[in-house]
Amino acid sequence: MKFVLVLVAPRGKVSLTDAMVERVRRSIAGGEAAWLSPGEAAEIPCMMEPERDIIAEALEGAPIDALCVKARGRRKAVLIADMDSTIVTSETLDELAGEAGVGAQVAAITQRSMAGEIDFAEALRERVALLRGLDITALERTWRKTELMPGARELVATMRAHGAVTALVSGGFTYFTGRVAAELGFESHRANNLLDDGSRLTGAVGEPILDRDAKRAALHEIAALRGVKLGATMAVGDGANDLAMITDAGMGIAYHARPVLRQQTRLHVDHADLRALLFVQGYPASVFRA
């Protein structure tokens, strides 16, 4: 069959049952279902992409993610991932602002930027200016509090084990992307540079700023270096700044996304963790690496 519908449950919260899978299978006239991870993820082959409402009705309100992709070429050769609220659970700039005592002000600007209400570069400059004079030791304190998103380690390790190139491309800062990349095994990372005078932040950010266009350019460049077409790429992010790369990628995933991104994308992970990005490519949990 031409398509595959992948159902994924949030681990530790809800179980995907045989009954749920069978109801969905019947509602879409799908083929025989197969488990990718019992109780967590299953896939159903189908002839055409089913309507979202039909799937939702069959799931009877259960918080299960449903992602339909073409059966051919599911496994991707390139992964481009956003960092904040995607590979890590927090917005590192907001956390850094908390160290400076301007957390509420910066978080408000972040929300508007991620919602696409204000230009990303303008918002970044405005937020960084509020950090002027902050002791650079705050960067290390913020890093120590930063937590990885569940499933991040498996996502990167499994894709790399199967030959994919992985890159962290963030509108955040290289101080954090470098550490996250090293921790998880991303082969490369790109982000913005916070400027300091050797002891304190200057309130400025290096130019040019890595914005949505730079994220898209990174996707194209890394795919070309890998020698693959965009159809063989996966991109994942959560905000307006990720829209361009998600749109251009062969498989673009809006992950626990802001409404502005969710409304303009087709594949959404709203409930499960990053393991869902492996399941949608057809990887069973039995081959996951960590």
DSSP string spanning 68-133? EEESTT-S-SEEEE--BTTTBSS-HHHHHHHHHT-HHHHHHHHHHHHTTSS-HHHHHHHHHHTTTT
Structure tokens at 284: 């069973």
CB 212 within 8 A of CB 239: no
The Cα angle at residue 153 between residues 148 and 219, in degrees rounded to 5 = 90
Is residue 232 assigned to a domain?
no
Look at residue 157 in the predicted model and tell me its pLDDT: 99
Is residue 289 assigned to a domain?
no
Q: pLDDT (tens digit, 9 = 90+) per residue, 215-260?
A: 999 999 999 999 999 999 999 999 999 999 999 999 999 999 999 9
Structural domain for 130, as ranges: 79-220
| Residue 115, Cβ density class (10 Å: 0-12 exposed, 13-18 middle, ≥19 buried) | middle
Q: pLDDT (tens digit, 9 = 90+) per residue, 86-115?
A: 999 999 999 999 999 999 999 999 999 988
Do both 147 and 97 map to the same domain? yes
pTM of the predicted structure, to 2 decimals = 0.97
CATH number for 33: 3.30.70.260
Do both 42 and 88 map to the same domain? no
Q: pLDDT (tens digit, 9 = 90+) per residue, 179-197?
A: 999 999 999 999 999 999 9
Look at residue 115 in the predicted model and tell me its pLDDT: 87
Do both 83 and 138 map to the same domain? yes
Q: pLDDT (tens digit, 9 = 90+) per residue, 50-91?
A: 999 999 999 999 999 999 999 999 999 999 999 999 999 999
Residues 6+ apart with CB under 8 A from 137: none
Do both 35 and 96 map to the same domain? no
Which residue numbers are catalytic?
82, 84
Q: pLDDT (tens digit, 9 = 90+) per residue, 140-160?
A: 999 999 999 999 999 999 999
Do both 64 and 101 map to the same domain? no
Do both 18 and 62 map to the same domain? yes
Do both 22 and 143 map to the same domain? no
Structure tokens at 125: 């400059």
Structure tokens at 34: 């197969």
Does the pLDDT value for residue 283 go beyond 90? yes
Query: Running DSSP on this structure, what letter comes out for residue 242?
Result: G
Query: Running DSSP on this structure, what letter comes out for residue 200?
Result: B
Q: Which of 72, 90, 120 is the last residue of a domain?
A: 72
Closest to 113 measured CA to CA, from 271, 253, 218, 261: 261
